[in-house]
């Protein structure tokens, strides 16, 4: 069991163990684009992504990052008066810009009171050599985590969702970051169109063999005004039920290396934009039901983990 008596290694447990206090992440929006949006690799972005580029809960990009940070921080302090903070650059691809511009966005956050680190969400094909050198420097000055979107290891699905990068590019970037001791968190999505439970488990087994420090497990959600919504309307592909999702997540946790921190374990869509699955609206019910299933099976993260070859 971890600090909060969960059967998996939660982010809250990790932070309290490392920093000795509550750590709150503040989501920021710099209005960066992505290489599969601007035409350099593709257009339209990932088929499930909203117009806010996965920044639905981030700050208002029309405000500067410090204003965004301070506005959200006020809300956080109502819940956690003694919290310290991580600036989370969430929306879009947050290394897909000239380093000069990245510095203008990242550096002011580091100067704020009680900021202990940065989380930077990006793609594995969007960190050039100059950017990597800057990240290496940042890592020497603050607690830095790079969040890489992978979603799936399966090429057919990756093509369908318009990721426009390869599994090799992902693996190579993980290796580069870890060679420089930069923490890596990987995003995956359960329930992508036409993927089976076995395929979703294979994605986790693949990640077990890479030196990653954390994982975010999302449930695919179909949002209004997305390419995915059009596909769903035309093809009506199967969307996981809550019970199916819980079964898959618990099976993934059993296989997952026990030292990998679980940063997220379900989706969190905006109700007004959600088409399916509607059960995602009750986030805490999903979390509680995952706990109940782990207990029912008498299982936990890493119970079935075994090292395999890639």
Question: At 268, is the pLDDT very low, low, confident or very high (cuts 50, 70, 90)?
Answer: confident
In a domain, 302, yes or no: no
Residue 242 lies in a domain: yes
pTM for this one?
0.94
Q: Give the residue numbers spanning the domain of 180.
A: 11-297
Is 90 exceeded by the pLDDT of residue 18?
Answer: yes
Counting the structural domains of the chain, the total is 1
Chain Cα centroid distance, residue 118? 14
DSSP 284: H
Q: How far apart are CA 48 and CA 306, in angstroms?
A: 33
126 Cβ contact list (under 8 Å, min separation 6): 34, 35, 93, 95, 96
Note whether residue 172 is domain-resident: yes
Is 190 within a domain? yes
C-alpha 269, offset from chain centre: 14
Read off the pLDDT of residues 151-193 as tens digits, 9 standing for 90 and up: 999 999 999 999 999 999 999 999 999 999 999 999 999 999 9
> CATH number, domain at 197?
3.20.20.70
Listed in sequence order, the DSSP H helices in the chain are 11-19, 65-79, 99-110, 129-141, 155-160, 167-179, 197-208, 227-235, 242-255, 283-297
Residue 290 falls inside a structural domain: yes
Question: Is residue 1 included in any domain, yes or no?
Answer: no
Question: What are 75-90's pLDDT values in tens digits?
Answer: 998 889 889 999 999 9
What are the tens digits of pLDDT across the range 240-266?
A: 999 999 999 999 999 999 999 999 999
Whether omega for the bond prior to residue 125 falls within 30 degrees of 0, making it cis, is: no
Look at residue 205 and tell me if it is in a domain: yes
pLDDT band, very low/low/confident/very high, at 306 (cuts 50, 70, 90): confident
Q: Is residue 94 part of a domain?
A: yes
Is the pLDDT at 25 greater than 90? The verdict is: yes
């Amino acid at each position: 069991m971890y600090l909060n008596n969960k059967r998996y290694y939660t982010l809250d447990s990790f932070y309290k163990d490392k920093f000795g206090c509550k750590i709150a992440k503040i989501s920021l929006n710099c209005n960066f684009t992505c290489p599969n949006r601007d035409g350099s690799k593709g257009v339209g972005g990932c088929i499930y992504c909203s117009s806010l580029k996965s920044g639905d809960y981030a700050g208002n990009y029309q405000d500067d990052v410090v204003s965004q940070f301070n506005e959200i921080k006020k809300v956080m302090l109502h819940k956690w008066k003694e919290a310290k903070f991580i600036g989370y650059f969430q929306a879009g691809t947050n290394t897909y810009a000239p380093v000069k511009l990245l510095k203008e966005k990242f550096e002011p956050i580091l100067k704020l009171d009680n900021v202990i680190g940065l989380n930077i969400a990006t793609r594995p094909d969007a960190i050039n050599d100059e950017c990597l050198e800057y990240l290496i420097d940042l890592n020497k000055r603050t607690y830095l985590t790079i969040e890489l979107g992978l979603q799936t290891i399966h090429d057919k699905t990756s093509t369908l969702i318009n990721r426009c990068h390869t599994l090799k590019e992902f693996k190579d970037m993980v290796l580069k970051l870890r060679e420089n001791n930069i923490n890596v968190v990987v995003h995956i999505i359960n329930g992508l169109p036409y993927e089976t439970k076995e395929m979703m488990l294979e994605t986790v087994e693949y990640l077990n063999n890479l030196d990653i420090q954390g994982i975010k497990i999302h449930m695919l959600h179909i949002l209004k005004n997305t390419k995915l919504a059009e596909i769903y309307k035309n093809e009506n592909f199967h969307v996981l039920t809550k019970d199916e999702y819980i079964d898959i997540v618990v099976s993934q946790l059993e296989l997952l290396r026990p030292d990998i921190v679980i940063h997220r374990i379900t989706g969190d869509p905006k109700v007004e934009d959600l088409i399916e699955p509607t059960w995602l609206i009750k986030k805490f019910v999903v979390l509680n039901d995952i706990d109940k299933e782990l207990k029912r099976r008498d299982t936990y993260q890493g119970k079935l983990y075994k090292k395999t070859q890639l």
